[in-house]
Structure 1
Amino acid sequence: MPQSAVIGVDIGTSSSKGVLVGLDGTVLHTAVREHAVDRPAPGHVEMHADIWWDELASLTRELTSAHEADVVAVGVSGMGPCVLLTDENDTPVRPAILYGVDTRSVPQIERLESELGANEVARRCGSRLTTQAAGPKVAWIAEQEPELFRRARRLYMPSSWLVRRLTGAYVLDHHSASQSTPLYDIVARDWYTPWTDRIAPGIELPELRWSGEAAGTVTAEAAHLTGLPTGIPVTTGTIDAWAEALSVGAHGIGDLMLMYGTTMFLVHTVPGLLRDPSLWSTVGALPDTRNLAGGMATSGAVTSWLRDLFGSDDYRQLLHLAEESGPGAGGLLMLPYFAGERTPITDPRARGVIAGLTLSHTRGDLYRAALEGTAYGVRHNIEAIEAAGGDIRRVVAVGGGTQGRLWTQIVSDVTGRAQEVRTTSIGASYGGALLAAQLVSDARIDIWNPVQEVVTPRPEMTSRYDELYALYRELYPASSHVVHALSDFQSR
């Protein structure tokens, strides 16, 4: 008799990932579909929603055929917050606008803060308006593409779009809604009608549920397209970073998750509502939880860029060269703001800077500088979280960047923080699978995914990095006027 299993699917920035997991947490099969974002103009980052559904269907067909198992539930997640508007027939009116890596909505942010009051937005919604927020992107479509906006009737994100196609339910999880500033009231935990009517007139907003709740069951049509059994439950889902945190059990009070991916995400679970203008205050993926979060616009994206620039397909070779380079990367400092920066500087016009270059520097030095630059960004975010009242008691690492351990070791050395690494670091799709399993069983993450090792800081390295981190903090204010002028030049 086939064993019972669940499927988790996550739609990421550069790929979609699926995992088939037994109810005991054993990974039975994984599958990946790579894709690229569209960049139709400077600061614009988009993706067609057809990619999300087509890749889910392809992933589930592979997963269900690769291993004999009785699939009993499905969990979904995706990058976000994104803005996908559809008409009354659920046909997208335009490609989806992605999360904080898309910086087009700066004029709408400035206008909405002036009209609504920046402090009032932060008080009601938990966060200031930034390029991460979904609300200003809805406003951008309304202002810049009014003929398309007049056709719009519904708002989706990757996870809710998959739920709609799988079950017919029009729902969104509370966490994703809480990143839709200023549309969601973080205290009332509901849409804030005075502002939704103003910013998204004519849009029927989705019903709100918690990430682990069942949104519905797989329809006969969806089953035919995906290979999934008809009638099995599908979770409401959430944004990928929060699914990543669930995948490694980093959702207790005092936990901090570091997600090593295309971007770097930090999610800290707090006992009550904390607000800080340089960070994002959200509700959690689980009921009665709250988070203080941060995110860097690039991390793995910079290492991928360097890999392509070097003409290398082998990350292991580049990691070896970076390890040979040694702490300090031969005297290089990198600001990893290649797509602007989200927290804590909140500057969409920031740009990458590599300081200290000489003719003697190597590929290994540059790659090391990218890893160290990300680590300095993590430390900057950690300091901002603690300054805002966060109390970080445990750090858990997850994501593809934990492989090889050099990057995690550098982050521990730079921050002076130990990091737990769990046995399975697949990430969001595994977290989605866990939520799916909890619909039909008593699955627990400590049994599914125990701690494999703890990466501890090396005191002699931490003291050395303290000096370099101080220079890193000086580099942005010293160079910002130049990179802002260059950003403006790039936008012409």
Structure 2
Amino acid sequence: MDLLIGIDVGTGSSKGVLTTLEGAVVARAEAVPARASERTVMPAPGHVEQDADAVWWDDVRGLLRELTVAAGRAGGSVAGVCVSGIGPTVLPADAAGRPLRPAILYGVDTRAVDEIAWLEKELGAEAIVATGGSALSTQSAGPKVRWLQTHEPDVWERTRYLFMANSYAVFRLTGAYVLDHHSASQSSPLYDVGARAWVPEWAAVVAPGLELPELRWPGDLAGHVTPAAAAETGLAVGTPVAVGTVDAWAEAESVDVASPGELMLMYGSTAFFVAPTAAPVRHAPLWTTVGVRPGAYSLAGGMASTGSLTGWFRHLTDPAGGFAELFAEAAAVPAGSRGLLTLPYFLGERTPVSDPEARGAILGLTLRHGRADVFRSILEGVAYGIRQNLEFIAASGTPVELIVAIGGGTTGDLWTQIVSDVTGLAQQVPRERSGACYGDAKLAGVAIGAVDPNQRWNAPGITITPRESDADVLSTGYRLYRELYPATAMIQHGLAELERSAVGGARRPA
């Protein structure tokens, strides 16, 4: 029996799944860090990093060992592997492919603000949008590459490879230096969305003297498992490995969101939105990218702190406890959180405000409020941010006829219910909720020619419908939410500067 392995390297943990060629799950595995605080580090204000070997590769090889053993117990053999991961990330490596420093993470890392301004001046802000599809933001990989040259010239001088989470896993497994087109399209200003190719003249400015990876599609074959990788992972030498992609797009593939009119809403450490489009759709401040499948495009957005915010609050109030009690308490709190309002910009914010200097706020606190009220207000604050993003997507002219919700935040259904109540929109939660790793298994099957990319891989599970009873109070809450950021933005920026000054992390000019 031929089996497929999909692995997703996540911000908080990594997950793997073993499936048949038809998508039936044979085994699941998860790599959960003993100390979550050591997995993702923030060495300075705005800096968010992970160690590619101690986190990414350790997770991948550990999950592969576990799942190959499961394949043997099931009487099968692994026919293909695919790895997705957080992205876009920037990992510089030397001539042997060894990481030179921890990886700089996606839009939650806001260090390259000055580099964004420098690149816009050097290349032209309008030209960047016309070529790359989106304005530069903290989500873009290009400014972080420029940051390395400016702030760590010794690292840049030794850099010969630039990896993301999925491409580093591919390199360790096969020795191939490849990157998928979707991830490349989040590397603005290095990539031309219309031509679906690197921009050589801009690469000479952003990454001078560096060979960029060969571009392939996520479901293409990247290479085969080497003897060294086989010894570490338990895979057979020569096992095919797919190129893979960024986690959110693998997540969309896991729930078959690939056609215009559909939208994937991912409830993870961050919230993410992927709306497939037939052609590039440019609408500030959202992101125009190429899709997972050849010729496809997508309009996307992402919030910086959602599931990570609930995790922060759980650790703050009950480090030894789980989420079940918190969610049960929050379910007993009425809509509106008894007059509390949370602005969930605890790591700055990506879309729609695109402000790395934004900061979180919990407004309306009195001595009558308890942790259940605050936790409910966090859930509602994220829901307000989701509604704002969905309104921007609608304003772009991109129709949304079906929302498919996926990710850890769908567990228990309270958060998804709050989001439907806030947005007034129904959400379909699929039968299989393994997430990005499940989409990776499908891409592995596509890469070996065993799975049709248009094959429906997941079946609908439940549908969350909005409740009219809370519509008025939540509409008021949303109106106040929209007013809170503009009213306090300058204060937030001042506090961000105080934070940098307190830890010696003031930005230097690019």
Bin for the TM-score computed over the shorter chain: over 0.9
Q: Using the TM superposition, give the Cα deviation of residue 453 of structure 1 relative to its aligned residue in structure 2, in angstroms.
A: 1.0
Name the amino acid aligned to 2:413: R
Which residue among 342, 348, 353 is the counterpart of 2:350?
342
**Residue 49 in 1 paired to residue 52 in 2?**
yes
**Residue 111 in 1 paired to residue 118 in 2?**
yes
Is the 8 Å Cα contact of residues 26 and 448 (structure 1) preserved in structure 2?
no
Is the 8 Å Cα contact of residues 179 and 214 (structure 2) preserved in structure 1?
yes
**Residue 231 in 1 paired to residue 229 in 2?**
no
Q: Using the TM superposition, give the Cα deviation of residue 132 of structure 1 relative to its aligned residue in structure 2, in angstroms.
A: 0.5
Between the aligned partners of 1:25 and 1:373, the Cα distance in structure 2 is 36
Which residue among 40, 45, 48 is the counterpart of 1:37?
40
Q: Which ranges of structure 1 fall in alignment gaps of 5 or more residues?
A: none
Query: SS of the counterpart of 2:404?
Result: strand
Match of 1:303 in 2: 310
Match of 2:464 in 1: 455
Which residue among 450, 472, 478 is the counterpart of 2:481?
472
* More deviation, 65-74/129-138: 65-74
Q: Using the TM superposition, give the Cα deviation of residue 218 of structure 1 relative to its aligned residue in structure 2, in angstroms.
A: 1.2
Match of 2:5 in 1: 7
Name the amino acid aligned to 2:30: V
Q: Using the TM superposition, give the Cα deviation of residue 133 of structure 1 relative to its aligned residue in structure 2, in angstroms.
A: 0.4
Name the amino acid aligned to 2:40: V
Q: Using the TM superposition, give the Cα deviation of residue 429 of structure 1 relative to its aligned residue in structure 2, in angstroms.
A: 0.6
Between the aligned partners of 1:150 and 1:420, the Cα distance in structure 2 is 49
Between the aligned partners of 1:466 and 1:443, the Cα distance in structure 2 is 43
Between the aligned partners of 1:227 and 1:193, the Cα distance in structure 2 is 39
Q: Using the TM superposition, give the Cα deviation of residue 223 of structure 1 relative to its aligned residue in structure 2, in angstroms.
A: 1.1
Match of 1:355 in 2: 363
**Residue 151 in 1 paired to residue 164 in 2?**
no
Query: SS of the counterpart of 2:124?
Result: helix
Q: Using the TM superposition, give the Cα deviation of residue 393 of structure 1 relative to its aligned residue in structure 2, in angstroms.
A: 1.1
Is the 8 Å Cα contact of residues 185 and 191 (structure 1) preserved in structure 2?
yes
Is the 8 Å Cα contact of residues 173 and 209 (structure 1) preserved in structure 2?
yes
| 1:69-127 CA-partner distances (Å, limit 9, x unpaired) | 31110011000000011111111121110001101000100111111111111111001
Q: Using the TM superposition, give the Cα deviation of residue 440 of structure 1 relative to its aligned residue in structure 2, in angstroms.
A: 4.0
**Residue 62 in 1 paired to residue 69 in 2?**
no
Is the 8 Å Cα contact of residues 333 and 373 (structure 2) preserved in structure 1?
yes
| 1:197-237 CA-partner distances (Å, limit 9, x unpaired) | 11101211000001111111111221111001221211110
How do residues 166-205 of structure 1 correspond to structure 2 at under 5 angstroms?
Answer: 166-205=173-212
Is the 8 Å Cα contact of residues 170 and 206 (structure 1) preserved in structure 2?
yes
Is the 8 Å Cα contact of residues 256 and 457 (structure 2) preserved in structure 1?
no
Match of 1:242 in 2: 249
Shift in CA distance, 488/470, structure 1 to aligned 2, threshold 3 Å: same
Query: SS of the counterpart of 2:211?
Result: coil
Match of 2:93 in 1: 86
Name the amino acid aligned to 1:418: A
Q: Using the TM superposition, give the Cα deviation of residue 34 of structure 1 relative to its aligned residue in structure 2, in angstroms.
A: 2.5
Between the aligned partners of 1:10 and 1:476, the Cα distance in structure 2 is 34
**Residue 437 in 1 paired to residue 441 in 2?**
no
Match of 1:371 in 2: 379
* More deviation, 460-469/338-347: 460-469
Between the aligned partners of 2:496 and 2:451, the Cα distance in structure 1 is 51
Q: Using the TM superposition, give the Cα deviation of residue 443 of structure 1 relative to its aligned residue in structure 2, in angstroms.
A: 5.5
Shift in CA distance, 447/189, structure 1 to aligned 2, threshold 3 Å: closer
| 1:145-175 CA-partner distances (Å, limit 9, x unpaired) | 1111011111110000111111111100000
Q: Using the TM superposition, give the Cα deviation of residue 343 of structure 1 relative to its aligned residue in structure 2, in angstroms.
A: 0.3
Which residue among 221, 224, 229 is the counterpart of 1:222?
229
| 1:9-62 CA-partner distances (Å, limit 9, x unpaired) | 111111111111122222222111134111111111111110211211111111
Query: SS of the counterpart of 1:29?
Result: strand
Is the 8 Å Cα contact of residues 256 and 456 (structure 2) preserved in structure 1?
no
* More deviation, 430-439/367-376: 430-439
Query: SS of the counterpart of 1:281?
Result: strand
* More deviation, 299-308/270-279: 270-279
Name the amino acid aligned to 1:452: G
Is the 8 Å Cα contact of residues 255 and 457 (structure 2) preserved in structure 1?
no
Q: Using the TM superposition, give the Cα deviation of residue 444 of structure 1 relative to its aligned residue in structure 2, in angstroms.
A: 6.8
Q: Using the TM superposition, give the Cα deviation of residue 277 of structure 1 relative to its aligned residue in structure 2, in angstroms.
A: 2.2
Is the 8 Å Cα contact of residues 211 and 237 (structure 1) preserved in structure 2?
yes
Between the aligned partners of 1:364 and 1:249, the Cα distance in structure 2 is 36
Query: SS of the counterpart of 1:238?
Result: coil
Is the 8 Å Cα contact of residues 405 and 427 (structure 2) preserved in structure 1?
yes
Name the amino acid aligned to 2:420: S
Aligned residues: 490
Q: Superposition RMSD on alpha carbons, in Å?
A: 1.2
Between the aligned partners of 1:453 and 1:77, the Cα distance in structure 2 is 26
Query: SS of the counterpart of 1:150?
Result: helix
**Residue 407 in 1 paired to residue 415 in 2?**
yes
Which residue among 279, 282, 285 is the counterpart of 2:286?
279
| 1:344-400 CA-partner distances (Å, limit 9, x unpaired) | 100000010101111111111111111111110000001111112211111000001
Match of 1:381 in 2: 389
| 1:255-305 CA-partner distances (Å, limit 9, x unpaired) | 111000000000111121111221100000111111110000000011001
Percent identity between matched residues is 51
Between the aligned partners of 1:34 and 1:350, the Cα distance in structure 2 is 30
Between the aligned partners of 1:172 and 1:148, the Cα distance in structure 2 is 21
Name the amino acid aligned to 2:365: L
Q: Using the TM superposition, give the Cα deviation of residue 144 of structure 1 relative to its aligned residue in structure 2, in angstroms.
A: 0.5
Name the amino acid aligned to 1:379: R
Shift in CA distance, 224/310, structure 1 to aligned 2, threshold 3 Å: same
Q: Using the TM superposition, give the Cα deviation of residue 447 of structure 1 relative to its aligned residue in structure 2, in angstroms.
A: 5.2
Q: Using the TM superposition, give the Cα deviation of residue 448 of structure 1 relative to its aligned residue in structure 2, in angstroms.
A: 3.7
Match of 1:427 in 2: 435
Is the 8 Å Cα contact of residues 6 and 436 (structure 1) preserved in structure 2?
yes
Which residue among 25, 28, 44 is the counterpart of 1:27?
25
Query: SS of the counterpart of 2:332?
Result: helix
Match of 2:506 in 1: none
